[in-house]
Amino acid sequence: MLFVSYTCTICTYLLLSLFGLSWITFAIVRVTLLPFNIDQLIGSSSGELTAIIHWHNLGLIIASAIAAAIYSFHIETLHLFVAGIVCVSAVLVSHNLFNGYLDTTPVNTVNPVKLIVRVLCYARKHKYPENRSALTYWEEEAPSRLDLGKDKYGGPFTEEEVEDVKTVLRLIPLVVICAVALAFNEENTVGLRLEIYGCQYPDRLDLSFCITYVSIIFLHQFLIYPCFHKYIPSMLKRIGIGLTLIVFVNILNTGLSVIGNYKFGQTFHCLTAFVDNPSTTSNRQWIIFSNIIDAVIWYMYIVVLVEFILAQCPKSMRLTIIGLWFCIWRLKSTIQFALFLPFLHYMSPEVSLGRGFYYLLTQAIVSLLLLLIYIFLAKIYKLRVREVEINIHEIAENHTINDIEQEEEYWRKNPMEFSSQSTDIITSGYQ
């Protein structure tokens, strides 16, 4: 009996370790996969980059749809285990087959966090530029004021590195604000022990979310963008529209929590009480409407935000910013529960208008404040525009080399014509 108990304890700790390892692996793959796919499309159009982001998000949506199907059809564990082995094998085989066609060159050899810290420390110690001697300019070519200053004038960083750090420091507040605002886009709250406060839907129609999201993709890519691309607002404005929609949803939930106090609104009483054993709503129309709103927010907010991060963030720091975004995004349940914790401990569900009303009202106010902060940050944000330097001499040299190589290849393929032409040249020389 003691041996059985000891074995069960070991198995429990082993399962917990494997569960933690799987979550760490999942986080690493999710953070690394998108920048890796973007690096394979160097020089591609913005439409192709957007398509990669859509495919990246569709993977998570398809996974949630499969999970809902497993829950609905009660698929056996053995079948799931076999399907998982097949998927992992397919990934490994495809990786071995296409490894030669993928760009696996390291993006950078410098730690981005270390670079940011070094630049900030140097800027704090050297508030004023160092005096430069005129003798340093006695050269054949005029040196770049900042790039060559790395070796001669005391500045240990290039102009590109300094601009990268400035861009990241401007980008981090926007990413944090947007990620935190996304935490307040739910009509329920999950506790530390996975207890649910608010409305929960065991028969939640995830299929409506998937269909709506895919429909929005096709509608935007094949109708709105080709016909009305001149009227599409900028990325920052679209992110602001998504934040406004989140505020609108919170205000709507606050109003529904008031309706839940009356008999005709008992469907939404779960929003009013906000207890750990909530009633399940039977209003399928509301479930479908909520899923449609979530799909619109997902497309207008999350997809555009990730696209903006990839467009503005320096290539060497993409993993860091995407990792920050993903970390805060996965902690959204914890952030939301931290806001709900004072209402849980110091407010009874039987108070006037219900505990859920005051919590949802607070959530709406917080999301509105985040929207105002975002508007302020978006107005002062300076877009990073990378200047592409065109070297005319290098272009001409490459063009000449290509002409010579093509001519050599032509004469190599036509040796008879080359020999006859050489004979004619020799004969004409003797004449």
Give the three-state DSSP class for 64.
helix
Q: What is the rounded distance in angstroms from the CA atom of residue 377 to the CA atom of residue 177?
A: 10
Q: In 3D, which of 34, 38, 31, 30 has the Cα closest to residue 63?
A: 30
Return the ∠ at Cα 293 (arms to 287 and 299), rounded to 5°.
135
Please tell me whether residues 212 and 127 are part of one structural domain. Answer: no
Residues 144 and 190 in one domain: no
If one counts the domains in the chain, the total is 2
C-alpha separations of 85 from 28, 63, 74, 157, 398 in Å:
20, 16, 19, 48, 50
What is d(CA 273, CA 351) in angstroms, rounded to the nearest whole number?
9
Residue 25 forms part of a structural domain? no
Helix (H) or strand (E) holding 190: strand 188-190
Instruction: Clarify whether residues 68 and 141 are in a common domain.
Output: no
Residue 299 to residue 291: CA distance in whole angstroms: 12
Query: What values do phi and psi take at 204, rounded to 5?
Result: -60, 130
**C-alpha distances out from residue 24 to 11, 21, 27, 30, Å:** 20, 5, 5, 10
Sequence-ordered strand ranges (E) for 110-186: none
Burial class (CB in 10 A: 0-12, 13-18, 19+), 73: exposed
Q: What pLDDT is recorded for position 177? A: 92
Regarding whether 259 and 130 lie in a shared domain, the answer is no
- The reply to whether 130 and 275 lie within a common domain is no
Phi, psi of 257 (to 5 degrees): -65, -30
Residue 133 belongs to some domain of the structure: yes
Residue with tokens 């998000």: 57
Quick one: which H or E segment has residue 9?
Answer: helix 2-39
Residue 107 lies in a domain: no
Widest Cα–Cα separation across the chain: 116
The tokens of 279 are what?
Answer: 């009633």
CA atoms within 13 A on the CB side of 130: 15
Report yes or no on 420 lying in a domain: no
7 falls within a domain? no
Its pTM stands at: 0.72
Assess whether 185 and 255 both reside in one domain.
yes
Burial of 20 (0-12, 13-18, 19+ CB in 10 A): exposed
Pairing of strands 196-198, 188-190: antiparallel
Q: Which residue type sits at 355?
A: R
What's the pLDDT at 426? Answer: 44
Same domain membership, residue 363 and residue 264: yes
d(CA 37, CA 367): 33
One domain, residues 245 and 128:
no
What does the radius of gyration of the chain's CA atoms come to, in whole angstroms? 30
Q: Which of 344, 361, 353 is nearest to 260 (CA)?
A: 353
- Does 358 lie in the same domain as 309? yes
Would you state the torsion angle of the CA atoms of residues 56, 62, 67, 69, taken in this order, to the nearest 10 degrees?
A: 180
Q: Which domain holds residue 278?
A: 30-99+180-380
Task: Mark whether 235 and 275 lie in a shared domain.
Answer: yes
Classify residue 170: in a domain, yes or no. Answer: no
Cα(185)–Cα(333) distance, integer angstroms: 10
Q: What is the pLDDT of residues 283-321, one digit of tens each?
A: 667 777 887 888 888 888 888 888 888 888 887 788 788
Domain contains 418 = no
Cα dist from 266 to 244, 253, 257, whole Å: 28, 14, 10
Do the beta carbons of residue 114 and residue 316 sit within 8 Å? no
Query: 């709250």: which residue's tokens?
Result: 189
> Of 78, 246, 106, which is closest to residue 178 (Cα–Cα)?
246
Please, are residues 35 and 322 in contact by the beta-carbon 8 Å criterion?
A: yes
| Contact between 22 and 15 (Cβ < 8 Å) | no
**123 & 81 share domain:** no
The answer to the question of residue 189 being in a domain is: yes
Q: Please work out, in degrees rounded to the nearest 5, the angle formed at the alpha carbon of residue 176 by the alpha carbons of 174 and 104.
A: 90
Same domain (yes/no): 93, 120 = no
Residue ranges in the chain whose pLDDT is less than 50: 135, 137-138, 146, 148-149, 153, 203, 388-392, 418, 422-430
Q: Which of 380, 397, 414 is the last residue of a domain?
A: 380
Among the residues of 74-111, which ranges form H helices? 77-98
Per-residue pLDDT, 153: 45
Give the number of C-alpha atoms closer than 13 A to the C-alpha of residue 33, restricted to the C-beta side.
Answer: 16
**Which residue, of 380, 404, 419, is where some domain finishes?**
380
